[in-house]
Amino acid sequence: MFDSIAGDYDRLNHILSLGIDKTWRRRSLKWINDGEPCKQILDIACGTGDFSLEIAGHSDPRTTVTGLDLSDRMLEVMRRKVERSGLGERISTESGNAEQMPFPDNSFDRVTVAFGIRNFQNREKALQEILRVLKPGGRLVILELSVPSNAVLRWFYCLYFTKILPRIGGAVSGDRAAYRYLPASVLKFPGKREWMSTMQNCSFRNVNHKAFSFGICRMYIGEK
């Protein structure tokens, strides 16, 4: 599915989110780029590389970012963007599954997942793999779409998300099924308390949460 929409993915993301997705990524950077200046960062479900590029562009020049994704066509788009950015020496890509990653134990200082963890088939297994590849004291930062808590906002949000967004996304990309799946996957994702509990049950410490834009986006943080 993601292979089929890779060509239009960036443009549609920014149009359908009214560009707010860029702000959410930027706001999360202080939990990623703090502490030691030289880091190894893994960006899981990196897609077309927006978050990997954002992280590398706002971090110490010695920091490296590895993007991991299952979709080869998404990674093709990412590689072209990385080449144009001039950050090619600091950003690499890897095709792979978050539930069985090709990295040694204790490899990364930070692991990020931006708007992708809801698509994982076995989230608990992925969390355990993330914990394995994180260095002791390392941090996981997750950004994920959510449903606002306010009843009025939630009504308008669900109207837009389930009725309008699939029509626009389907018309532009030619894949209506993909843009019906995307909102459905957000609505099915666990609420903040349940997801924080899942992270804690998978042995993450100091699990925390922050809501952006009235809860349309949520950031979850956990440490090894």
Q: Tell me, what's the pLDDT at 186?
A: 80
- Dihedral (C-alpha) 65, 29, 125, 108: value to the nearest 10 degrees? 40
Rounded Cα distance between 117 and 210, Å, is: 16
Paired tokens of 197? 């509990």
**Three-class DSSP category at 223:** strand
Distances (CA, A) of 52 to 15, 85, 170: 20, 11, 26
Element (H, E) at 136: strand 134-145
Residues in CB range of 59: below 8 A, 6 or more apart? 32, 33, 39, 41, 65
For the chain, 224 residues long, give each residue's pLDDT as a single digit of tens.
665 555 555 555 665 566 788 899 999 999 999 877 889 999 999 999 999 999 999 999 999 999 999 989 989 999 999 999 999 999 999 999 999 999 999 999 999 999 999 989 999 999 999 999 999 999 999 999 888 888 888 888 778 767 776 677 666 556 666 566 677 778 889 999 999 999 999 999 999 999 999 898 999 999 99
Q: Tell me, what's the pLDDT at 171?
A: 66
Q: Tell me, what's the pLDDT at 120?
A: 93
